[in-house]
Every structure is written in structure tokens, then in C-alpha cells.
């Protein structure tokens, strides 16, 4: 149509290049998730609050309280870090 003919077998290179970009994106995504504490098994406890005690066993409720306390502590630390960065810069 445009006077340019591609030789047979060129599509494999497009697939290879696309695959490399996908793998790079996956690695970047996994590194971001690990850096931002996204692989936390206890995250499921954050959907509950103190009024949900009757929906959990005593062990689960205790775990909920521990996880919630830890997350609140991390939140305060992150907010303090951000405030320090804003004040410094």
C-alpha cells in the first residue's frame, strides 16, 4: 500500500519488545508495592471498627486491636515524615 514491505518474521520482535516493557512495568509495580507496605496480610482487619466485636472471635478482635494500633502508629510516623519534608524544603 505504501510501497514498504516488511519481511516475514518481524512480528516476533514487536512481541519481544512488548514483553520486555510489560516485565519492566511488573517489576516497577512490585517494587512500589513492597516499598509502600502493600503486602500486609493483616490489612483485612482495617475494615473493622470497635463496634464489630460481636462479629469476631476474641482472638480475631485482639488481632484487630493490635493491627489497628500499629497502623495508627505508622500513620503518625508517615505524617510526621511528610511534615518534616515540607518544613525542610
- Average pLDDT of every residue of the chain: 88
Round to the nearest angstrom and report the end-to-end CA distance of the chain: 58
Tens digit of each residue's pLDDT (9 = 90 or more) over 26-44: 999 999 999 988 887 887 8
Tens digit of each residue's pLDDT (9 = 90 or more) over 57-82: 999 999 999 998 998 999 999 999 99
According to DSSP H, which parts of the chain are helical?
11-35, 58-88
Cα angle 38, 26, 81 (rounded to 5 degrees) comes to 40
Q: Does this model's pTM top 0.85?
A: no
Q: What is the 3-state secondary structure (H, E, C) of 3-14?
A: CCCCCCCCHHHH
Amino acid at each position: 500500500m505504501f510501497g514498504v514491505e516488511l519481511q516475514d518474521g518481524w512480528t516476533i520482535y514487536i512481541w519481544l519488545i512488548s514483553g520486555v516493557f510489560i516485565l519492566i512495568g511488573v517489576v516497577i509495580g512490585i517494587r512500589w508495592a513492597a516499598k509502600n507496605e502493600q503486602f500486609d496480610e493483616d490489612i483485612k482487619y482495617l475494615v473493622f471498627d470497635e463496634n464489630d466485636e460481636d462479629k469476631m472471635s476474641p482472638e480475631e478482635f485482639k488481632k484487630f486491636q493490635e493491627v489497628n494500633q500499629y497502623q495508627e502508629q505508622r500513620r503518625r510516623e508517615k505524617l510526621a515524615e511528610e511534615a518534616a519534608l515540607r518544613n525542610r524544603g
